[in-house]
Structure 1
Amino acid sequence: MSLPLDDRDGRRRCRDCGEWKLLDEFCSSSKRPSGRGSYCKPCFNQRSKASYAKRTRETRGREVKPVRKVPDGHRYCADCGSVKPLADFPRNRSDSTGHGTYCKPCHNARTRNTKQRLYGGSREYHLRRRYGIGEKEFQELLAEQGGVCAICGTPDPQHLDHDHRTGWVRGILCFNCNGGLGQFRDDQSRLAGAITYLRGTTWQRVLIHPGVYQMCSPTRGRPPSPRS
């Protein structure tokens, strides 16, 4: 004689596996007075996967790939087809595991391909994303400067200078000039103070007699110490 399917002391028998389980182990169902369905959660999940695979096969004409069993602390990379530790995957807060879908080498390769496909290369991507201009505008601005650094005149500068408060592009500088403005925090008073300091402390050659020069400083009346 088969056991009835009605609830017994807060339990129910699953129609698929035939096991008696607590009602909390069954999926929710508004059609039953108890609010629980006829299948336990593991059996219901199997039924859902089988139903999805059948619909996909009938409507799209393709088979659903089976779920791969991955050890704890690991993840499967679909690009290289390998199982790797989570540490080999980039961080991703939007994912439930906290890591990206593809391992770091595959992720980097996808990023490079995307930059090449959408922007024509990493440089164009960097210029567009950070400064809002492309390589074409960069070359036009460099041509307006005569092909040299806007401050010191060094040929072929490659650093785009911008106002850190507004984001507006100001010009193209060489590495040293661009770094110098950053060290002085784009502060005109600091730069003016540096110029005053150099003028007052830089040793210069002064002609004291025809053909005779002496090193002196505007603010220091003694020559530098002789070298040992």
Structure 2
Amino acid sequence: MRNQGDFAARLLGWYDAHARALPWRVPPGSDRCADPYAVWLSEVMLQQTTVSAVIPYFARFMARWPTVHRLADAPDEAVMAAWAGLGYYARARNLLACARVVSRELDGRFPGTEAELRRLPGIGPYTAAAISAIAFGARANVVDGNVERVIARHARITAPLPGAKRAIAAEAGRRLPAARCGDYAQALMDLGALVCTPAAPRCGACPVAADCAAHAAGDAAALPARTRKP
């Protein structure tokens, strides 16, 4: 296998050409990070919800409440009504609680570290890592389902999920680049969403297929394995 820095470089090169244009993102290679408020809002909405379903809700929320202060001042019933249809309504309640803490106790500024972000309502380990990397450029290990699939296949981690989560996260952490950490996190997500898909992965279009262990073994589509329920 090539070195891990080369893995990141190839992935970032692919992302520069193929990144999804999503409303909460900045263009690849931008000299500025994404708006923390927009990243936080999108990440909360994306919990257990598809990108295509989130985009119109995100647009409506940003048009109506363009800053965390505006959202914090919104009536509960207005936010819950705007959330209707996205489901998992605890997310909307946590969204308001978090907005009010950031607005009223932190002067509208989201903290940049994972540890500080995790102290806020509704922000768990994954969301904290995503905000930290994408909005602040921190070297955070952002591992969602797409990333798990890419890493499990590239390193050919055959142990089944959920037991393999720790090994996959550790392998992902070893591959983190020193720079462009937000782009790198989103590149892994996009590769999993567009190329390294759950069924019928498009290995011929993959920028890291040349040293993908599962591709070489011919079992990429079978990974990551999952423990069968009794």
TM interval, shorter chain, is under 0.3
Query: Of the two structures, which has the highest relative contact order with CA contacts closer than 8 Å and spacing of 6 or more?
Result: 2
- The two structures have a TM-score, normalised by structure 1, of 0.21
Between Structure 1 and Structure 2, which shows a larger proportion of strand residues? 1
Between Structure 1 and Structure 2, which shows a larger proportion of helix residues? 2
Structure showing greater Rg = 1
- The two structures have a TM-score, normalised by structure 2, of 0.21
